[in-house]
Amino acid sequence: MEKFLRDYEVGDQAIDDLIGQLAKKSGSLETETLLREILTTSVKLGRESGDRGDLKLVNNTLKELRYSFKVFSPYRGIKKVIIFGSARSKSNSGEYKLAEELSRKLTEKGYMIVTGGGPGVMEAGNKGACPGKEFALNIRLPFEQKPNPYINEKEKLINFKYFFTRKLIFVKETDATAIFPGGYGTLDEGFEMMTLVQTGKSRPRPIILMEPQGSTYWSSWMHFVKSQLVKNKYIKKEDLSLFAIAKTSDQAIKYIENFYRVYHSIRYVSGLAVLRLHRQISPQTLKFINKEFKDILTSGQIQVCPPTAKEIQEKEFLNLPRLSMNFNLRDYGRLCEMIQVINQDKE
């Protein structure tokens, strides 16, 4: 396997020197090394691949990601909620009205909304949002998926060619997920979101399965999950803690806000899982989680800690209190349960 950093080169001194010069002129001290690797990869692709289709895929992917980062970067400090749901839901349906109401209430509280940009539940999400408080990540399809008319600022509309880049941005740029009834696409997005959290590929987040009063969509789905996935041990029963079902917008908002009541974020540094908190928890809660969640530790205890050297170097939330632990990097359902306990800590 090729080494990275300074050993990751094309192997032609003249080309490597040119790449180094371009990286130095195009990046900052913090980004120069990574930019050099990106440029090196591009040159290697040109030398190693004679397949135009391969190059088109990489080219389109990089362009979609670059533009998405440009659109979202000014809003990284604002919490965002992604709304998934059917493109075929009618405007008089219960899920459409619920999505519109949820979007309106969330944006009134300062959140921003991200939708898939199309009709149905996605349209409801954009329609309900306060002006300027929503994004739309549309996918170009030969049928069904045209941008809805409720996208107030066209610079916040991004059109994607590939589902995988669109789904990456859905996860990367949002902090909570609301999933309404839908078809294959909605279930795909929902299961992927749960899988990413379950496997640690995405940080813990509130995932809410939304269904209007009278609907049995998610309750029927839950019966399948319990009777087939849990019973047959395809997932652990603790994995049910990765999500919650809500019938009203107020229930969903309460779940989202409670999730971030004390918990702020997580970072993995040198074998440690570091939980950043909005405030320090009580000694009683710290003692309780050490007793109740020792099964997810490989050694040691959950303890108060200062920012790690890596966090200091990258200036990551240095003012926040922290807990560190030797997490087993496996039981993410249990980790979410622990976060819920931390959020119940009394001031």
Considering the domain architecture, whether residues 136 and 276 belong to the same structural domain is answered as no
The reported pLDDT for the residue numbered 2 is 42
State whether 180 and 290 are in the same domain: no
* Residue pointed to by tokens 């918990």: 263
What does each C-alpha distance from 69 to 62, 73, 76, 266, 347 come to in angstroms?
Answer: 11, 6, 10, 21, 37
pLDDT of residue 3: 45
- Round to whole Å and give the CA distance between 81 and 177: 6
**Which tens digit of pLDDT belongs to each residue from 300-311?**
999 999 999 999
Among residues 73, 88, 103, the one where a domain terminates is 73
CATH number of the domain bearing residue 163: 3.40.50.450
Could you report the per-residue pLDDT of 190-229, keeping only the tens digit for each?
A: 999 999 999 999 999 999 999 999 999 999 999 999 999 9
Q: Please give the model's pTM, rounded to 2 decimal places.
A: 0.92
What integer best gives the mean pLDDT of the chain?
94
Q: Are 235 and 114 in contact (CB under 8 A)?
A: no
Measured N-to-C along each axis, helices 94-108 and 249-259 cross at an angle, to the nearest 10 degrees, of 40
* 102-121 pLDDT per residue, tens: 999 999 999 999 999 999 99
* Cβ atoms of residues 85 and 180 within 8 Å: yes
* Same domain? 255 vs 277: no
Do 9 and 92 reside in the same domain of the chain?
no
> Does 45 have pLDDT greater than 50?
yes
Same domain, 170 and 41: no
Amino acid 137: pLDDT: 95
Domain housing 43: 5-73
The reply to whether 42 and 178 lie within a common domain is: no
Number of domains within the chain: 3
Report the pLDDT value the prediction gives residue 4, as an integer from 0 to 100.
43
20 Cβ neighbours under 8 A, 6+ residues apart: 36
Lowest mean pLDDT among 43-47, 144-148, 216-220: 144-148
pLDDT value at residue 30:
83
Domain finish residue from 54, 73, 92? 73
Residues 82, 210 within the same domain: yes
